[in-house]
Amino acid sequence: MDPLKAFPLIQVLDEDGRLIGDRSQVSDDQLRAFFRWLTILRTLDQRAWNLQRQGRIGTYPPFSGQEATQVGVAAALSPDDWLCGSYRDWAALVYRGVPLYFPLLNSMGHPAAGAFPDPVQALPVQVVIAAQILHAVGLAWAAKLQGEPRIAVALFGDGATSQGDFHEALNLASVMSAPAVFVCQNNQWAISVPLHRQMHSQTIAQRAIAYNIEGLRVDGNDIIAVYQTMKEVVERVRAGGGPVLVEAVTYRLGAHTTADDPTRYRAREEDERFRHGEPLARLRRYLLASQILSEDEMQAIEEEAKGLVEQAVTDAASYPPSPPESVFDHVYASIPPQLLSQQEELARRVREGRRGGQSHG
């Protein structure tokens, strides 16, 4: 079996943005909306990077290059479906309805960044690689037991496929026929480890065979391909067809996080090669060539994006801080006696302005 043939790359736009497939499931309006979102998200991502460099936010994991996958996936879901993503999946979350300032709040280390406003049906971003895949299985399984048409989607990276939890999740979902979609964002790198050191297989999609579930490989930089594929997949899964593994082949354009220096481990040339097919430029070329959007319209969108992102920066910066002692409020439903006295101690120290931590260390 040749996995590259058995799991052919689904593409609608080629790397230069030429239409090479069927785009009958997306309207021009939808494409304009996608372009607008991709622009806003790219703007946000770059602004966040700069904010970190200015010391205004902490560690930030940029998603640039992966917006097509994340937005394409999120756009294919119903509001009731669950999204279980990881630290890099803010593009999907923001598209789903998480306010634009949340990723910033999160990198500022604000505890409220874990509480997305209702009705966004999504778990807090996951840091432990692959752990959320099992949560998605449980959420999907619950929906099935309850007879709800809800499905659950897990987003994770290529590195995550090496974890035991990935395997256990896909096997369990397959046995339970849980309505879950497993979307791997194969961005070619797990921090400094390239895909070919992560696995010796040609594709991630072929892992579906191990579980006797459907596996698909889609160009993750092609938002039309991702969106249309996901639409179909979500429909099948919702109808009870069992779980599906989708490999979205994409590329992490930037560093792993603001704490990472990719020049230590990857060659500039590779970067250039992948940069060419990146999702925003690709969509832009197609929309221009097909006259769905003009340069002027695009510029207007870019201006709007800047404004929205600046507003998000303001919103994040002016978000009221949480009192330190509030950490005790969300450990248990009600605070046990020992924790209560610890909370009192901390609150007293805060009142007295006896600042803790490093400063005294």
Partner 1 sequence: MANITMIQAINQALDLALSADDRVMVLGEDVGPNGGVFRATEGLYEKYGGQRVVDTPLAESAIIGSAVGLALGGMRPVAEIQFLGFIFEAMDQMSTQASRLRFRSYGRYHVPLVVRAPYGGGVRTPEIHSDSLEALFSHLPGLKVVTPSTPYDAKGLLLASISDPDPVLFLEPMRLYRAMRQEVPDSWYEVPLGSARVVRPGDDVSVIAYGPMVPVAEAAAETLLQSDISVEVIDVRTLNPLDLETLSASVAKTGRAVIVHEAQRTGGLGAEIAASLQERAFLSLEAPIMRVTGYDTPFPVPSVEDWWLPDADRVADAVNFVLHY
Contact 282, 15 (CB under 8 A): yes
x/- binding map, residues 135-164, to ligand TPP, per CB under 6 A? ----------------------xxxx----
355 a catalytic residue: no
Query: Per CB under 6 A, does 65 bind ligand TPP?
Result: no
Q: What is the DSSP string of 158-220?
A: TGGGGSHHHHHHHHHHHHHT--EEEEEEE-SEETTEEHHHH-SSS-SGGGHHHHT-EEEEEET
Return the one option of partner 1, a second copy, ligand TPP, none that residue 109 interacts with (CB less than 5 to 8 A, by type).
Answer: partner 1
Catalytic (active site) residue 200: no
CA distance 75 to 223: 10
165 binds, among a second copy, Mg ion, ligand TPP, none (CB under 5 to 8 A by kind): a second copy
What residues numbered 75-94 form the site for partner 1, per CB under 8 A? Answer: 82, 84, 87
Find the shortest distance in angstroms from Cβ 241 to a second copy.
Answer: 13
Minimal distance in Å, beta carbon 226 to ligand TPP? 16
C-beta of residue 289 within 8 angstroms of C-beta of residue 80: no
How many of the other CB atoms lie within 10 Å of CB of 268? 9
Identify any residues that bridge with 183 across adjacent strands, giving them in sequence order: 155, 246
Residue 215 in the binding site for ligand TPP (CB under 6 A): no
CB under 5 to 8 A by kind: which of partner 1, ligand TPP, a second copy, none does 252 bind? ligand TPP
The three-state secondary structure class of 103 is: helix
- Residue nearest to ligand TPP as judged by C-beta position: 157
Q: Which of 157, 242, 243, 254 binds Mg ion (CB under 5 A)?
A: 157
DSSP label of 19: B
Which listed option, partner 1, a second copy, Mg ion, none, makes contact with residue 187 (CB within 5 to 8 Å by class)? Mg ion
Decide if 217 is catalytic. Answer: no
| Strand partners of residue 54 | none
* Catalytic residue (choose from 265, 275, 276, 351): 265
Segment interacting with ligand TPP, rule: CB under 6 A, options 73-81, 189-197, 217-225, 296-304: 189-197
DSSP label of 268: H
- Residue 160 binds partner 1, judged by CB under 8 A: yes
CB of 188 to a second copy, least distance (A): 16
Both tokens of residue 217?
A: 């490989």
Distance set, CA 328 to CA 160, 199, 342, 352 (Å): 32, 42, 9, 19
Q: Which residues are catalytic?
A: 252, 256, 265
